[in-house]
Amino acid sequence: MNELVFFINNVVIAGSVTGSIYAIGAIGVTLIFSIMRFAHFAHADIMTFGAFMVLLLTTAFPAVGASIGVPTALIMLPLAMLLTAALAVGIDKAFYKPLRAHGVKPIVMVIGSLGVTLMLQGLIRLFSGTGGQSLYVDDRKEIFRIALPFEGVRAPIVITEPQIYLFVITLMAVVALHLFLNRSRLGKAMRAMSDNPELAQASGINTNTIVAVTWVIAGALAAIAGTLLSLDVTFKPDLSFFLLLPIFAAAIVGGVGHPYGAIAGGFVVGFAETLAVFNWNVLLRPFRDSLPTWLELPSNLAFVGTEYKIVVPFFILVAILVWRPTGLFKGKVI
């Protein structure tokens, strides 16, 4: 049972945390692709910007959350979502809209997004510095240890306060997005534009409004992902940048252009990473005495070392695309 608890802590909980972050990030990437048909490489730095806004607001008003018993960073998150959404819309109007007006090819938009990435990362480094900072300014991160009522089980299940918030907010965001896309007029218009932009425009849909709404949703989700990630670990200017490739892998695995596929792809990639670096020798300890004497298990029985974890999403990506080229869900439509 102690080995099982170790598995729950290091695979089930850790994989759910990683998968949730990847899923929220991949939804934004896939929405932008489905509407504007280009890969937005600056999305990870928009996530970092959202977390940075939360850090600034929390530093300015550190005691706000104490009055209601929640971290101040969560109180500041809605305002940071608005600021990040405004940034996303502003970037589109300043950089991407002129390119679309000139009818440039998608690869030019991709290169332009790389320039936006470097610009955002440089500005964030300029104002935040290069070191790590905690979003718990005047708060204390709660760690919950849940003891199991079984004889001989000494190790508790460990889950932190930001991880609980992450699971709850991820579920709320997924439900809200589902209702928006399927029940609201704007959501249905987004689906129509994703399926056929020319026909949507001919039907009287205001494509400029749809583009703006897409950036608002992507920016707000980016702020959520960056903030919840920074709450769980710590804020760094390049924290989300290193998640960019796994997030894109998650979007492609799920079916690029399909938000529900992005959610599935996020959890597939997150759990694949966690399972690949898990030391399976721990689960085999109870069976060690029954193994042949000539079979000696190594101390570390992980599939890959932690330093090679970045390889795992792309192995999963290649394997799934060979089996199903459109991804888990049919891509390119909402």
pLDDT digits (tens, 9 = 90+) for 149-173: 777 677 788 899 889 999 999 999 9
Bridge partners (DSSP) listed for residue 158: 145
**73 CB contacts (<8 Å, ≥6 apart)?**
54, 55, 58, 65, 135, 136, 137, 139, 227, 231
Q: Report the C-alpha gap between 144 and 135 in whole angstroms.
A: 19
Task: Please report, as a single letter, which amino acid is at residue 245.
Answer: L
Structure tokens at 282: 């721990």
- The pTM assigned to this predicted structure is 0.89
Query: Is the model's pLDDT at 81 over the cut of 90?
Result: yes
Tens-digit pLDDT profile for residues 274-309: 988 888 877 777 666 666 666 666 677 778 887 778
